[in-house]
Amino acid sequence: QHGSYIMNSKDLRAVEYVNDLVEMGVHSLKIEGRTKSDYYIARTAQVYRRAIDDAVAGKPFNTELLNELNGMANRGFTPGFLQRHTPQDLQNYERSHSEGEHILVGQLTGTANNNSVYEVAVKNGFSIGDNLLLMTPKGNYPFQLARMESLKDEAMIRAPGSGYQVKIQTPVAIDEQDIPYCFLIKEAAVRKVA
């Protein structure tokens, strides 16, 4: 109906095999990010870091990690050559675009003042009352957005989308060197893995 997407491979996901890889003696994993955003790479690295730490500590695999990856924009997932499968399991023949339940809505760009208020480059629209996740190098912090202003200190109800800059108060103070690596994600219903 929509044509064939013969060169649209699914994203590789091996996080559920980390325990097995550790047991086999694998000492290093690489997150491939050539065509991915900074947010995607950072979020994926966080998830794999948690899986690796759990595996090294002898803990069982945490299936919630699958939900975190499933929520990001993706083309469907495959374990690649880590598991036997049919060729159609590697390709996405149904759609040409990524889908996901978590939306990157902003990236912190600077400090507005010393009260945990930061300037944000808007990537996708978000509004007062939205449940957001502040993703930082030191951890993730969920919060509900209660106030937002333009860079001219005018109250705003909605950040309309890419190209705008706003100021918001975050739930935690952020070290100045970490600001460029902090992302705002709009949380949505989490898809459960069967």
For 153-186, b/e burial (b = at least 16 CB within 10 A) is eeebeebeeeebebbbbbeeebeeeebebbbbbb
Q: Which residues are paired to 119 by β-bridges? A: 110, 167
Q: Which amino acid is at 69?
A: L
In whole angstroms, give the CA distance from residue 169 to residue 166: 10
**CA 12 from centroid of its chain's CA atoms:** 15
Check residue 189 and give its pLDDT. Answer: 44
Check residue 114 and give its pLDDT. Answer: 66
Check residue 76 and give its pLDDT. Answer: 72
Length of the chain in terms of residues written:
194
Does the pLDDT value for residue 75 go beyond 60? yes
Check residue 69 and give its pLDDT. Answer: 85
- Taking the chain, what is the end-to-end CA distance rounded to the nearest angstrom? 29
Q: Which two tokens stand for residue 177?
A: 């060197």
Does the pLDDT value for residue 5 go beyond 60? no
Q: pLDDT tens for residues 133-164?
A: 999 999 999 999 999 999 999 999 999 888 89
Taking residues 89-112, report their average pLDDT: 68
DSSP tag of 15: G
Q: Which two tokens stand for residue 113?
A: 């003042």
Does the pLDDT value for residue 39 go beyond 50? yes
For 74-92, b/e burial (b = at least 16 CB within 10 A) is bbbbbbbeeeeeeeeeebb
Any idea which residue has 């108060």 for tokens? 169
pLDDT category, 40, cuts 50, 70, 90? confident
